[in-house]
Amino acid sequence: MPETGKAPERRSRKARRTRDALARSAFDLVLDRGLRDVTVEEIAQAADVDRRTFSRYFPSKEAAVLDTVRGDGDRINRALRERPPAEPPLTAYRRAVLAWLSDAEAEPWHLRPRVFDLLAMAEEEPTLYAAYHHIRVDAQEESVAILAERLGVDPRQDLRPAVTVAAGAGALLAAQAAWVRGGRPAALPEFVVHAFDALSTDLLESRQDGPAPHSTTQGSTS
C-alpha cells in the first residue's frame, strides 16, 4: 500500500522533469538559432524524448519556449492576493508587480538569464508574440477574479476589476516593450515605475507637450 501511494508522486515528478527538460531545450535552441530554424523534433531529441511525448506537454514550440515565463503571472497574482484589503485596486496591482520584480528568489525577468532576449525575439516573431499574448490573458483573467473578490463584486456586472487589470497589465506591457527597445536588461523595474506613474498621474493631468518629469527619455529613476 505505501508503494501504491508513492507511485503517483513519482509519476508527477517524472512528468515535471520531462516538461522542464523540453522547455529548457526549446529555450536554448530557439535563442541560439532562432525560432524558424528549430523544429519540434529537434527540441524533443535534445530533451531525449520523442515527438509524441513533446505533444503531450506542449501544443507548439512557441508554448515550450515561453514556459519559462508562464509562472510569472501566477507570481504576480499571489502577490496581489497578499495586498492589504484597503488598498485601491490599481495601487494593489502596481505593488504586486513591484513585489514580484523585487523578489530575487522568483528570478524576475531582469534577473533571469536570457529572458530579455526571449521577449525581444517575441517582438519580432508574430507566432511567438501570439503565444505570449495567450499567457498574459490567462494571468489577467485570474487578476480580474482576485480584484473582484477583494471588491466583493461580480466582474460580469461591475467593470472595475477588468478595467483595473487592463490598465495595470497595459502599463506592464508598455514597460516591457520600452525595456526591450532600450537595450538595458537591468532597467525593467525603472520602466515599470515610469509606466505606472504615467498611468496614475500624467494621463489624468493636463500638461504641455514634452516629456514628463520622470520620463525615461531623461534617464531618471523612481
Question: Which position has the grid cell 508527477?
Answer: 12
Is residue 62 pLDDT above 60, yes or no?
yes
**Per-residue pLDDT band at 58 (split at 50, 70, 90):** very high
At 210 the pLDDT is 55
Residue 58 backbone dihedrals phi, psi, to 5 degrees: -140, 140
C-alpha cell at 56: 503531450
Of residues 116, 137, 5, 101, the one with CA closest to residue 68: 116
Supply the DSSP symbol for 111.
G
Average pLDDT, the chain: 90
62-76 burial, b at 16+ Cβ within 10 Å, e below that, comes to bbbbbbbbeebbebb
Determine how many CB atoms are found less than 10 A away from the CB of residue 189: 19
C-alpha cell at 1: 500500500
Judged by average pLDDT, the poorest of 2-6, 23-27, 67-71, 79-83 is 2-6
At 203 the pLDDT is 66
Quick one: residue 108, left, alpha or beta (phi over 0 = left, psi -120 to 50 = alpha)? beta
Q: pLDDT by residue (tens digit) across 39-54? A: 999 999 999 999 999 9
Question: In this structure, which amino acid lies at residue 34?
Answer: G
Of residues 186, 177, 168, 170, the one with CA closest to residue 119: 177
Q: pLDDT by residue (tens digit) across 73-122? A: 999 999 999 999 999 999 999 999 999 999 999 899 999 999 999 999 99
Is residue 222 pLDDT above 60, yes or no?
no
Is residue 2 pLDDT above 70, yes or no?
no
What is the distance between the alpha carbons of residues 174 and 218, in angstroms, rounded to a whole number? Answer: 17
Mean pLDDT confidence for 177-194: 93
Mean pLDDT confidence for 22-32: 98
